[in-house]
Structure 1
Amino acid sequence: MSIIVWNCRWLRNPRPVRILKKLVKDKCPNLVFLVETKTGRQRLESVRRSLRLDGCFAVDSVGLSGGIALLWKEEWEVTIINYTRWHISALVKEEVNGQTWQFTGFYGHPETAKRKGSWQLLEMLKPPTPMAWLCAGDFNEIQHQKEKQGTASRPYKQIEDFRRAVEFCGLQDLYSLGQSFTWSNNRRGRDFTKERIDRAMVNKEWNELFSSGTCTVLAAVRSDHSPLCISKHKEDNGKRKRRVCFRYEAAWDLKDECKKIVEKAKKADRMSGGGGNSVRLKLELCKRGLMQWNQKEKVQTQKDINQKLEKISHL
């Protein structure tokens, strides 16, 4: 089970939605927190349906600025407890073990002068009673100078204000995997800057509850921010296989290999009683051949995508 956190930059464009769909398909998250959706609830409902998630709570953007959303699967009972333009807090109850903990999706103010208000809000969001707490999102701030490369360094007081709020809340960074930086300005030469401003932080209670939790920084695609994949447990490669209903894809008509499989099934001379049995046999041979071919195509396509994502991550 995992959680996806991503500053997607704009969900009105279908391209980020396609990237998000791939993320959800690959990581199978129970919870998805999105920042800078730059859209309203109606559009988010459409995105929720395309992702095949069950619940959605969205805070509308103001014009083309901001906008956050929390989406989830029904396997977790998610209860929204409070929200603003800059955060969504929810109680999460897991059906499997009945554990309840708090999730806060956070968005630090993009304007430096107003960021102190963000830290005041963060302090107010601390659970009033001891409870496992995961706080993740785009904080728009770093905790150390080493979390930034390029151009001018961050003012010390700016960093210190953020660190004090984190310390007050009893939070610490979740064990991180993948890239060191989560955002870049995509410029070249001396103007190029990269920072670690997206993060997942947890309190002592959450760490004790999920001692093997990790946060993996994924490659940034169609956004200047990298998605975060938060896992409560070590990855389990043993996924349950589900039965797939066979459907012929119209796009297969464009593939020569597909046509050869269909022709081969038509010419099959193995009969089992003739008549209707012969037709059923040929259809079954055709179905099996197409499914095997399609599976190989999917594996190769996924391999190509992963290689390109690795290249993007390296760049």
Structure 2
Amino acid sequence: MSPVRSNECVGMELPGVGNPRTVRDLAALVQSYNPKLVFLSETRQSEEHMQSLRWHLGLKAYLVRSCVGRSGGIALFWDESLAVNLITISNKVIDVSVQEDSVSPPWRISFFYGEPRVEDRYLTWEFMKRIKSRSDKPWIMVGDFNETMWQFEHFSSTKRGERQMEAFREALEFCGMHDLGFVGLPWTFDNKQFGRRNVRVRLDRAVADDNWSNLFGQASVEHLVSPCSDHCLILLRLAPADAQRVKPKILRYEIMWEREQSLEDVIMEAWDSGPAKTFLASFASALKGVMQSLHSWSRENFGSVRRKLEELRTRLAELNGKMDDDSRAEARRMAAVMDEMLYREEMMWLQRSRIS
């Protein structure tokens, strides 16, 4: 039985999702990985505001719970090609069944945002046990559980409480869940502090039962860094990424070029060096030459925005993996560079969008 072709979903804790910079980063990630499901936790936004985010993501179907005061808030967006049916929803959990088409097997995915307060965390584990029997479909849980399973997942000068980790493991065992592992940084949360105050913890993960793992034997989990969040994104692939098909290059004028002051000089030089403009065909030929010159200039000065973003994100992950102050400072500079690239990415995709 083959896994569904719509083979990626993203889970992310995203405080400040109302910030344009944060939305740009999220939209760039969706453009890069083309997930069919996107879950956001700790949005700190109202349901009305989160509804508008679907146009940025290109995922029109959604389920949303508003924040309470200035904290909380969860949202799930998905591609309309999927049949997504609600099983359970609360302020911290969205639990649904997913089916790609009538011949694909349905399965269950629960997106969690665990109780942030240690003394309330038992509520998450009790809720997890309570909803276990609400569906017999192959089951996976993804999200920020606000807890680790083992001491070695807690990178700090102080140890984590053994009882709270044991309670988490006991709840997973009750539900028949096992950890799916990951690729990337060994932690998913970094408090961005220096020295002994620095805490890095693996709070976000994907866990599944045996039926789900048997259905998706090639599934994998990747930790992706974001300059806009102190949490990593959780990228779940149900199958290896498909090889991209090569499409013919379309030469178009890019609005993002206008971020460079030298644009006008490049256009004037290309136009003046072209053929004499004596009839309509010569004007068309001259315009074609200008566009070719602009794309040659763009490759030298801009390159591939998406490729540069991927390189910057990889470099940011490397810097975040280091403990020294110089690396921390360089990571902040790298985040500023990413912000400019994300702005250019947004301009590029808005230009291609049919939505005003």
Provide TM-score, normalisation by structure 2. 0.80
Over aligned residue pairs, what C-alpha RMSD do you find? 2.4
Matches within 5 A, 1:52-67: 52-67=58-73
Counterpart of 1:44, as a letter, is: M
Q: Does 1:181 align with 2:187?
A: yes
Aligned residue number for residue 46 of structure 1: 52
Provide the C-alpha distance between the structure 2 equivalents of 1:309 and 1:194, rounded to a whole number of angstroms.
18
Displacement after TM superposition at 1:168 (Å)? 1.0
| Percent of pairs with identical residues | 27
Question: 1:108 is matched with which residue?
Answer: 114
Which residue type is aligned with residue 45 of structure 1?
Answer: Q
Shift of 1:150: 0.9
> CA separation in 1, counterparts of 2:251 and 2:266?
22
1:262, distance to aligned residue in structure 2 (A)? 5.0
Tell me which amino acid in the other structure corresponds to 1:115. Answer: R
| Structure 1 residue 74 corresponds to structure 2 residue 80 | yes
Matching residue of 2:317? 313
Q: Offset at 1:248?
A: 4.7
Aligned mates of 2:10, 2:121 — CA distance in 1: 24
User: Do residues 95 (structure 1) and 101 (structure 2) align?
Assistant: yes
The reply to whether residue 195 of structure 1 matches residue 205 of structure 2 is no
Counterpart selection for 1:276 from 274, 277, 280: 280
Q: Does 1:208 find its partner at 2:217?
A: no
Aligned residue for 1:4? 10
Any conservation in 2 of the 1:58–1:69 contact (CA below 8 Å)?
yes
Higher mean Cα deviation, 188-197 or 71-80?
71-80
How many Å apart are 1:240 and its aligned residue? 5.9
CA distance in 2, matches of 1:66, 1:281: 57
Q: Where does residue 350 of structure 2 map in the other structure?
A: none
Paired residues in the alignment total: 313
The Cα offsets for residues 150-198 of structure 1, whole Å up to 9 and x where unpaired, read as 1332222211111111011111111311111101221111111111110
Residues 244 and 44 of structure 1, relative CA distance in 2, 3 Å threshold: farther
Deviates most, 122-131 or 56-65: 122-131
- Cα offset for 1:10? 2.1
Which shifted more, 247-256 or 58-67?
Answer: 247-256
Q: Out of 254, 278, 294, which is 1:290 matched to?
A: 294
What CA distance in whole angstroms lies between the structure 1 residues aligned with 2:60 and 2:248? Answer: 19
Higher share in strand: 1
Unaligned runs of 5+ in 2: 1-6, 321-356
Structure 1 residue 132, shift from structure 2 partner: 1.7
Kindly indicate whether the alpha-carbon contact (under 8 Å) linking 1:126 and 1:169 is maintained by their aligned counterparts in 2: yes
Letter in 1 for 2:14: C
User: In structure 2, the residue corresponding to 1:299 is in which secondary structure?
Assistant: coil
Secondary structure in structure 1 of the residue aligned to 2:123:
helix
TM-score normalised per structure 1: 0.90
For residue 253 of structure 1, report the CA deviation from its aligned partner: 7.6
